[in-house]
Amino acid sequence: MIYIQYFGPLASELGTRVETLPWENGGTTETLIQLLRARNKRWYDALAADKIFKLVVDKKICHQATMIPDGVEVGILPPVTGG
Protein backbone atom coordinates (compact mmCIF):
# COMPACT_ATOMS: atom_id res chain seq x y z
CA MET A 1 0.00 0.00 0.00
CA ILE A 2 1.21 3.52 -0.76
CA TYR A 3 -0.07 6.80 0.63
CA ILE A 4 -0.64 9.52 -2.03
CA GLN A 5 -1.01 13.24 -1.40
CA TYR A 6 -2.26 15.63 -4.08
CA PHE A 7 -1.36 19.31 -3.75
CA GLY A 8 -2.67 22.67 -4.93
CA PRO A 9 -5.07 22.90 -7.87
CA LEU A 10 -4.49 19.23 -8.63
CA ALA A 11 -6.27 18.26 -5.40
CA SER A 12 -9.24 20.41 -6.39
CA GLU A 13 -9.34 19.02 -9.93
CA LEU A 14 -9.29 15.44 -8.70
CA GLY A 15 -11.57 16.00 -5.73
CA THR A 16 -9.18 14.48 -3.21
CA ARG A 17 -6.11 15.46 -1.20
CA VAL A 18 -5.07 12.05 0.10
CA GLU A 19 -5.63 8.39 -0.63
CA THR A 20 -4.12 5.00 -0.03
CA LEU A 21 -3.57 2.67 -2.95
CA PRO A 22 -2.79 -1.06 -2.97
CA TRP A 23 0.80 -1.44 -4.23
CA GLU A 24 1.87 -5.02 -3.46
CA ASN A 25 3.48 -5.54 -6.88
CA GLY A 26 5.28 -2.20 -6.79
CA GLY A 27 6.25 -0.22 -9.85
CA THR A 28 7.70 3.08 -10.97
CA THR A 29 6.40 6.62 -10.85
CA GLU A 30 5.37 6.14 -14.48
CA THR A 31 3.42 2.99 -13.53
CA LEU A 32 1.57 5.00 -10.88
CA ILE A 33 0.70 7.86 -13.25
CA GLN A 34 -0.58 5.40 -15.89
CA LEU A 35 -2.70 3.64 -13.26
CA LEU A 36 -4.20 6.94 -12.07
CA ARG A 37 -4.85 8.17 -15.64
CA ALA A 38 -6.75 4.96 -16.38
CA ARG A 39 -9.39 5.77 -13.72
CA ASN A 40 -11.46 8.06 -15.93
CA LYS A 41 -11.29 11.12 -18.21
CA ARG A 42 -11.02 13.60 -15.33
CA TRP A 43 -7.93 11.80 -13.97
CA TYR A 44 -6.49 11.35 -17.46
CA ASP A 45 -6.85 15.06 -18.22
CA ALA A 46 -5.51 16.23 -14.83
CA LEU A 47 -2.42 14.03 -15.17
CA ALA A 48 -2.00 14.35 -18.95
CA ALA A 49 1.48 14.00 -20.42
CA ASP A 50 1.50 17.65 -21.49
CA LYS A 51 0.88 18.86 -17.93
CA ILE A 52 3.81 19.78 -15.74
CA PHE A 53 3.94 18.25 -12.28
CA LYS A 54 6.53 16.59 -10.05
CA LEU A 55 6.36 13.41 -8.07
CA VAL A 56 7.91 13.13 -4.64
CA VAL A 57 8.71 9.63 -3.40
CA ASP A 58 9.60 9.22 0.26
CA LYS A 59 10.22 13.00 0.53
CA LYS A 60 12.60 13.10 -2.49
CA ILE A 61 11.66 14.91 -5.71
CA CYS A 62 11.92 12.61 -8.72
CA HIS A 63 13.39 14.00 -11.92
CA GLN A 64 12.99 10.72 -13.84
CA ALA A 65 11.12 7.44 -13.53
CA THR A 66 11.77 6.09 -10.02
CA MET A 67 10.82 2.84 -8.30
CA ILE A 68 8.13 3.27 -5.65
CA PRO A 69 8.52 0.72 -2.86
CA ASP A 70 5.46 -0.54 -1.02
CA GLY A 71 4.66 1.42 2.12
CA VAL A 72 6.01 4.86 1.17
CA GLU A 73 4.41 8.26 0.75
CA VAL A 74 4.08 9.77 -2.74
CA GLY A 75 3.27 13.41 -3.39
CA ILE A 76 2.08 14.83 -6.69
CA LEU A 77 2.92 18.52 -6.99
CA PRO A 78 1.57 20.96 -9.58
CA PRO A 79 3.88 23.67 -10.95
CA VAL A 80 4.75 26.33 -8.41
CA THR A 81 5.63 29.93 -9.16
CA GLY A 82 6.83 32.67 -6.95
CA GLY A 83 9.72 34.94 -6.14
- β-bridge pairing 2-6 and 73-77: parallel
Whole-prediction pTM value? Answer: 0.91
The domain spans of the chain are 2-77
pLDDT 10s per residue in the chain (83 long)?
999 999 999 999 999 999 999 998 889 999 999 999 999 999 999 999 998 889 999 999 999 999 999 999 999 998 765 54
Q: Which CATH superfamily is domain 2-77 in?
A: Beta-grasp domain (3.10.20.30)
41: number of Cβ within 10 Å: 8
User: What DSSP string runs through 19-76?
Assistant: EEE--TT-EEHHHHHHHHHTT-HHHHHHT-TTS--EEEETTEEESS--EE-TT-EEEE
